[in-house]
Amino acid sequence: MAANINPTVQRRRLGAELRQLRQASGLKGSEVADRLMVSQPKISHMENGNRAVSPRDVRDLCTLYEVTDQQVVDSLMQMARESGQQGWWHTYKDIPQSVYIALETDATSLHTYQPLWIPGLLQTPAYAHALIGRSIPRLTTQQAATRLKVRLRRQHRIYDPARPLRLWTVLDESALHRVVGSPEIMREQLEHLNALSTEPHVTVEVLPYAAGAHPGLSGQFSILRSADSPTAGVVHLDRFANDLYLDKPSDVRHYAVLYDHLRTQALGPDSTRDLITDVTKMHIEAASRS
């Protein structure tokens, strides 16, 4: 599989193309299912990118939709072949957030707001290990180790010299003070955070306690955008049981406005580094007393 092929993202793109063709044909999903003698949920799953689409499915759908441009058909069938392949994350069994990892791997930019802890892409191994172990109940040692490997593998997007991810991060100040693991782990984590924030493709800003009430009080969210749709995007809402993914333009615009408000209330990058340095000193003092 070519390095730049992301099967999960290909499924979503292919599904969107098939939905547009169906709508242009004037057919409803139930009508398509009846004519092809398949279940209506199958059509829905294909259009939502929830399952791989075979080249034969694409051929049958294009015939039904009266698509006469062979280049369009060939392109969709190639997407179908690529959507059936697997990304690197599928080598790890039973990992959560596989859809999110696929989107993150494909993204060229990521805007994320995190009120409780340091985002996964910016975590040190010790911080990530402590967070995984304490935040997920009844996790086995093997499951924790697998999640840690996946989290550290995701960080390759930050260090990829050919295609570094443009990352904007807004943190609530509480994420700096919350002791994950130990004061020594926090010292290392905050020093790492400050170092990464000096990279030209990484911006870290902190919402101080003094900001009071703000639009991020409802919880974490991220906005991911890719090279082929820089003005569109997908909003990811991290939930314990089932994550939510919003790709309606109105939803993406809504969260983009929220993010702009958060950045307006946050400290700038330089002031943020000063605050992180001050909190780091607090963790160093706590470590010396323990």
Q: What CATH number does the domain containing 53 carry?
A: 1.10.260.40
SS3 290: coil
- 108 with 192, same domain: the answer is yes
Q: pLDDT tens for residues 99-128? A: 788 888 888 999 999 999 999 999 999 999
- 141 with 72, same domain: the answer is no
Cα separation, 43 vs 60, in Å, equals 12
SS3 135: helix
Please name the residue that has the structure tokens 């703000």. 214
Which segments of the chain have a pLDDT < 70? 1-9, 50, 84-90, 93-94, 228-231, 240-241
- 182 with 75, same domain: the answer is no
The answer to whether residue 2 sits within a structural domain is no
What is the total count of domains within the chain? 2
Cα separation, 238 vs 245, in Å, equals 9
Task: Give the pLDDT of residue 73.
Answer: 87
Cα separation, 76 vs 58, in Å, equals 7
Which of 86, 116, 146 corresponds to the end of one domain? 86
Which of 62, 86, 110 corresponds to the end of one domain? 86
Domain range spanning residue 165? 89-289
Distances (CA, A) of 207 to 13, 142, 264: 35, 36, 9
Write the CATH number for 146.
3.30.870
Dihedral sign, Cα of residue 53, residue 3, residue 247, residue 113: positive
Give which of 261, 263, 226 is closest to 247, Cα–Cα: 226
- 42 with 119, same domain: the answer is no
Cα separation, 64 vs 58, in Å, equals 10
Q: pLDDT tens for residues 4-48? A: 456 666 777 788 888 889 999 999 999 998 998 888 888 888 887
The answer to whether residue 134 sits within a structural domain is yes
The answer to whether residue 172 sits within a structural domain is yes
- 82 with 96, same domain: the answer is no
- 263 with 169, same domain: the answer is yes
- 228 with 263, same domain: the answer is yes
- 150 with 98, same domain: the answer is yes
- 136 with 177, same domain: the answer is yes
- 26 with 108, same domain: the answer is no
The answer to whether residue 50 sits within a structural domain is yes
Which of 68, 86, 104 corresponds to the end of one domain? 86
Task: Give the pLDDT of residue 257.
Answer: 96
- 75 with 101, same domain: the answer is no
- 276 with 150, same domain: the answer is yes
The answer to whether residue 1 sits within a structural domain is no
Cα separation, 13 vs 47, in Å, equals 9
Task: Give the pLDDT of residue 81.
Answer: 79
The answer to whether residue 69 sits within a structural domain is yes
Q: Retrieve residue 209's tokens.
A: 């306690």
The answer to whether residue 211 sits within a structural domain is yes
